[in-house]
Amino acid sequence: TKKVAVLTSGGDAPGMNACIRAIVLACERANYAVVGYQHGYNGLINQEYCLLNNNQVHNLIQRGGTILQSARCHEFKTDAGAKKAAENLAELDIDTLIVIGGDGSFRGADHLGAFWSGQILGLPGTIDNDISGTDATIGFYTAIETAVSSIDKVRDTADAFERIFLVEVMGRHAGFLALRAALASSADYVILPELFDNPETTLNCITTQLNERRKQSDHISYIIVLAEKLWPGGIDNLAQALTDKTQSEVRPVILGHVQRGGSPVSEDRILATKLGAYAVSLVSKDITGVMLGEQEGKIVEVPFKMTWGKSKPLDQQLVTTMKTLMNERYA
């Protein structure tokens, strides 16, 4: 019989637990033993693991976070660290390691492949959706919902006081989350890394739009969505620049880590369940070093090296829609 190990690594995301559950249930069905390594790659290096069975995954599908904990692990990047991990996997007689994480975790999985001959499979788990080879990642849909419901609340107060708010959403260096959150919350403007030109152009564009809006109505609220890590000097800098330029106080709001938490929405549960069960179906097959993703509703096997580096494009139809309804509406 086969022995499967699973771990969650890098930034945590809602749906990681749903994925662990699917893996455990599918393994149970196939009569494979399953262990869960704790604290990401640290668990591999320190041989810190637990046996997983049906009982531990009862009522787990709806829980945010990850019961295996996640972490960053610097030591794993070294050859010595990866060798240690390989020895530990061999000691436990593991046949297959399933890594749920982001592109950094897949670089790590690829690195481990140089030292360990067992099967390594990756499943995309990150709220940022910044992994090439898959249309969506586990956690992305929940993070959109969380951002949208928060921006809706900001809108209430913006309306009540006729104020300008600047809301920063996560996404690392990608604008997937910001674009969808902005569209779904009817924000007035969105600043995305993929379309960012320079600060001056952006400031002028926002000011022009605001002035146009003010001509149409005396009572306006205005919401700008900003993708994180983008504006030189950060959100406070942009808020100040806009305040100076528009002569109205612009309030910055950073949504922050709330976006990583919460019970996963059904899309994330289903993606996690589908990919988790599929990973287990590959256990005795001759395939390794791949991430399992989804493209146009179909599961795809993507070599780890194709998952990072090249930047994944935004949905062009959404970009066009955004430009029509938001950023260029008053241009």
Nearer to ligand ADP, 22 or 73 (CB): 73
Return the structure tokens found at 262.
């919460």
Tokens for 172, please give them.
């690392």
Q: How far is the CB of 91 from ligand ADP (least distance, A)?
A: 20
Contacts of 146 (CB under 8 A, 6+ apart): 255, 258, 259, 261, 262
Tokens of 153: 């609340």
Phi/psi class of residue 69: alpha, beta or left (left: φ > 0; alpha: ψ in -120 to 50)?
left
As beta bridge partners, residue 302 has: 291
Q: How far apart are the first and last CA of the chain?
A: 65
Nearest-angstrom CA–CA distance, 92 and 120? 15
> How many other C-beta atoms lie within 10 A of the C-beta of residue 178?
28
Kindly state the smallest distance separating residue 22's Cβ from ligand ADP, in Å.
20
Distance in Å, CB of 303 to ligand ADP, minimum: 15
Say which of 12, 103, 110, 128 is annotated catalytic.
128
Q: How far is the CB of 7 from ligand ADP (least distance, A)?
A: 10
Chain residues binding ligand ADP by CB under 6 A are 9-11, 41, 72-73, 76-77, 101-105, 107-108, 111, 126
Where would I find the beta strands (DSSP E) of 112-263?
Answer: 119-124, 164-169, 189-191, 222-227, 250-254
Determine contact, residues 259/143, Cβ cutoff 8 Å: yes
Cα-atom radius of gyration of the chain, to the nearest Å? 22
Measure the CA angle with vertex 290, ends 287 and 293; round to 5°. Answer: 120
Minimal CB distance residue for ligand ADP: 104
Q: How far is the CB of 74 from ligand ADP (least distance, A)?
A: 6
Amino acid at residue number 226: L
Closest separation in Å from C-beta 202 to ligand ADP: 28
DSSP state of 77: G
- List the structure tokens of 93: 């007689």
Residue 312 and residue 102 in contact, taking contact as beta carbons nearer than 8 Å: no
128 belongs to the catalytic site: yes
Closer to ligand ADP by CB, 29 or 229: give it: 229
Residues involved in catalysis: 128
